[in-house]
Structure 1
């Protein structure tokens, strides 16, 4: 086993305290105190020759502490200053009011915590999704709306799910949709693809507004869905989104996923678009006398859906309250592809939508589609190519991360690891700005990176793909047989009774 070089693994160790003990290979989760355990140094001790090597470890840590003393004082002063700021006072700035100018380099600590929080809400779409083809519930959410956040261990975020979102699997994205191998299943043609959540009263007071959040599911490990994309642009208005400019175009696969439906299926008899618009209308009306925000998040393909739904909500005017107040709409996305052409970008910006895209520079997904004609091409060339069906451009502001800066991650260009959402959240936790050292700010456990990939360095002894249900979800019945347990009926989690009423008011009910 290779020795761990603690000098290259930059951890926030202000002072040495050998008396404290915490059996965790990543050290302290508290940047203000060092916790050093035998398990922390065991890999290195295996290659030592007794006390002299252990003494050298202590000397190395002391040297690291001395070298970073001034840096820590600066970080401490900055942290104290940031703690004095409150989300309730700065939320508009953190959600893009000024396009995040001055907040990304150096990295604003409140913005970092907000990005991680919404990233965890996007990650919840993966953690709650049933990927198992041997389950008759494959393609569904494993939890009811009422138990969603608590079941995933993130109830502390202070949101409740108001609605689940479903899409029809009868479109050309086979690597996105999952289907059970069993004949008796919860649905033959639907997949759960996200949810709408609303901040509770306590969180609303802390945030300074009632936050309506939409989280979209994307892809976890397989990247073949990029090939599934038809990779040509078509007008947004061709799928009944009320855009006044026919030259505003988006990728056809994203648009179909967002707008298609299967009227024979009770879960996707309404399109994802219709589900989102009616829920936004209901919630904005319900909380019309409060300060509101609409924050949309997603990873990978979910990032594209986040941008498209933000555009649709604003273009349709659902972010305007009955008394004429505009509700800010922001997208905080991760590892997302390009969505539309230059005209789409211009139209989205003119509507006041704010988009912050978090990407890993080694990830291939944000580089597609539009490999040849994109925002990096000379403006004159793009002007000539803007009418082509494969001329794309990114929208919003980009925050670039680099997994090779993290001492925890394998430096190799692993396409699955580079695209992984938990890896992005880990990189956010250690990012302080361009040229700054990688130092974990919140102590978020790096072991989470390996939940669904193999990206942590081997000497941290965290097994790859470790997240799974106990006994793969099988339980023992009273008669001693191992069976798949029944889940609560999904009836409560499909379309609400008033959806047709809201569709009529939106002028979208003609097909029902």
Structure 2
């Protein structure tokens, strides 16, 4: 067993050696987005909150992760795809004057296996209607081929009817970041929605250079935040000698790293160039840390328990969800239904949740 572990480590290190080096810089025909530190600190809390497995607390926005910079957020719909272990929500942040969409990433108990799979993953899906563009099939399917996408689209339309034509902010961490990127592109291309912003944390690569260039033109207001030696943004590996065929990040990256010593350590937020593969940002270090993947801006990312796809929910809230034959469901909070509002308020007052 030990020999097998050492062999795996040697192969992984070899892949990083092959993927190291400078990448080419794509030609830009768009303005790079401006990085907003305050917005990043807010959206990272939404990306953390979506991991909560107690759906009562999440739906009523009373969870421990729902009481910081996101306080006052109004949930519209909570989408849970039990079949594929996916979770997302749509709501309105009045302080941002925006509809916020957040996607859950990979759960902690399965992240090691997920990372191992990404080392070997090859581009295997042609992106529709874009010549030579290829994407990661798993990430693409997680958004496009599950109950998540129709739930998100329906929720956004509901939010617009209630609050008007607000800007849309899409966020997520890890695999949730990959889904957020596909969502931002989908809303813009297929539904003609304007003013879509995407900000992800610890996102893996999701497509090749052709896709990266296309994405950057369609959703230019996109920021990818990476942290120190977080290994996930290094995956799937980028191979310098095959720039057109390998995975390639889209811009714009903001790399968080620490400088100083002892009590004088502070965080630098380096705004990277427009290549998507700036060799002076996260690519300047080895991506060898899972711990750096699980905390951004001091906010804990990942699930609050180790049970895969565990669901906690007050039984009374099941009356306000629609469920399909596979057990996937969407919970909707209707402002116009006083019965729903009363029951939700009763749950907020302290009724405990049950495991489903």
User: TM-score range, shorter-chain basis?
Assistant: 0.5 to 0.7
Give the direction of change, closer, same or farther, for the CA distance of 1:246–1:225 in structure 2 (3 Å limit). Answer: same
1:199 matches 2:93: yes
Counterpart of 1:302 in structure 2 is 176
Q: Aligned to 1:297, what secondary structure does the other structure show? A: strand
1:492 matches 2:320: yes
Q: 2:158 aligns with which of 265, 282, 293?
A: 282
Give the direction of change, closer, same or farther, for the CA distance of 1:316–1:149 in structure 2 (3 Å limit). Answer: farther
- How far 1:124 moved relative to its partner? 0.4
In the alignment, the residues of structure 2 paired with residue 294 and residue 495 of structure 1 have an alpha-carbon distance, to the nearest angstrom, of 20
Q: Aligned to 2:200, what secondary structure does the other structure show? A: strand
Aligned residue runs from structure 1 range 335-346, under 5 A: 335-346=202-213
In the alignment, the residues of structure 2 paired with residue 405 and residue 219 of structure 1 have an alpha-carbon distance, to the nearest angstrom, of 32
In the alignment, the residues of structure 2 paired with residue 310 and residue 485 of structure 1 have an alpha-carbon distance, to the nearest angstrom, of 29
Q: Aligned to 1:223, what secondary structure does the other structure show? A: helix
Q: Aligned to 1:396, what secondary structure does the other structure show? A: coil
- How far 1:144 moved relative to its partner? 5.5
Counterpart of 1:52 in structure 2 is none
Q: 2:53 aligns with which of 129, 151, 157?
A: 129
Counterpart of 2:250 in structure 1 is 395
Q: How many residues are paired up?
A: 267
In the alignment, the residues of structure 2 paired with residue 413 and residue 468 of structure 1 have an alpha-carbon distance, to the nearest angstrom, of 25
- How far 1:486 moved relative to its partner? 5.6
Aligned residue runs from structure 1 range 80-99, under 5 A: 99=32
- How far 1:280 moved relative to its partner? 2.4
In the alignment, the residues of structure 1 paired with residue 161 and residue 143 of structure 2 have an alpha-carbon distance, to the nearest angstrom, of 23
In the alignment, the residues of structure 2 paired with residue 156 and residue 283 of structure 1 have an alpha-carbon distance, to the nearest angstrom, of 17
Give the direction of change, closer, same or farther, for the CA distance of 1:404–1:194 in structure 2 (3 Å limit). Answer: farther
In the alignment, the residues of structure 1 paired with residue 260 and residue 181 of structure 2 have an alpha-carbon distance, to the nearest angstrom, of 28
Is contact 1:129–1:192 with CA below 8 Å preserved after alignment?
no
In the alignment, the residues of structure 2 paired with residue 398 and residue 287 of structure 1 have an alpha-carbon distance, to the nearest angstrom, of 31
Structure having the larger proportion of residues in strand: 2
Counterpart of 2:144 in structure 1 is 259
Give the direction of change, closer, same or farther, for the CA distance of 1:191–1:485 in structure 2 (3 Å limit). Answer: closer
- How far 1:155 moved relative to its partner? 7.7
Q: Aligned to 1:415, what secondary structure does the other structure show? A: coil
1:115 matches 2:40: yes
1:313 matches 2:187: yes
In the alignment, the residues of structure 2 paired with residue 332 and residue 370 of structure 1 have an alpha-carbon distance, to the nearest angstrom, of 21
Unaligned runs of 5+ in 1: 1-96, 104-110, 131-140, 169-188, 238-243, 262-270, 320-326, 427-447, 453-464, 474-483, 498-512
1:369 matches 2:224: no
Unaligned runs of 5+ in 2: 1-29, 266-285, 322-328, 333-356
Structure 1 length-normalised TM: 0.46
Q: Aligned to 1:280, what secondary structure does the other structure show? A: helix
Give the direction of change, closer, same or farther, for the CA distance of 1:406–1:330 in structure 2 (3 Å limit). Answer: farther
- How far 1:491 moved relative to its partner? 3.9
In the alignment, the residues of structure 2 paired with residue 361 and residue 150 of structure 1 have an alpha-carbon distance, to the nearest angstrom, of 26
Give the direction of change, closer, same or farther, for the CA distance of 1:155–1:120 in structure 2 (3 Å limit). Answer: closer
Is contact 1:149–1:155 with CA below 8 Å preserved after alignment?
no
Is contact 1:295–1:331 with CA below 8 Å preserved after alignment?
yes
Is contact 1:310–1:353 with CA below 8 Å preserved after alignment?
no
Aligned residue runs from structure 1 range 64-103, under 5 A: 99-101=32-34
Is contact 1:212–1:294 with CA below 8 Å preserved after alignment?
yes
- What is the aligned-residue RMSD (CA, Å)? 3.5
User: 1:451-507: per-residue Cα shift (whole Å, max 9, x none)?
Assistant: 87xxxxxxxxxxxx9x779xxx9xxxxxxxxxx99644434243479xxxxxxxxxx
In the alignment, the residues of structure 1 paired with residue 107 and residue 317 of structure 2 have an alpha-carbon distance, to the nearest angstrom, of 27
User: 1:351-399: per-residue Cα shift (whole Å, max 9, x none)?
Assistant: 2432111112311110111332xxxx37xx52xxx3x4xx111112111
Give the direction of change, closer, same or farther, for the CA distance of 1:274–1:236 in structure 2 (3 Å limit). Answer: farther
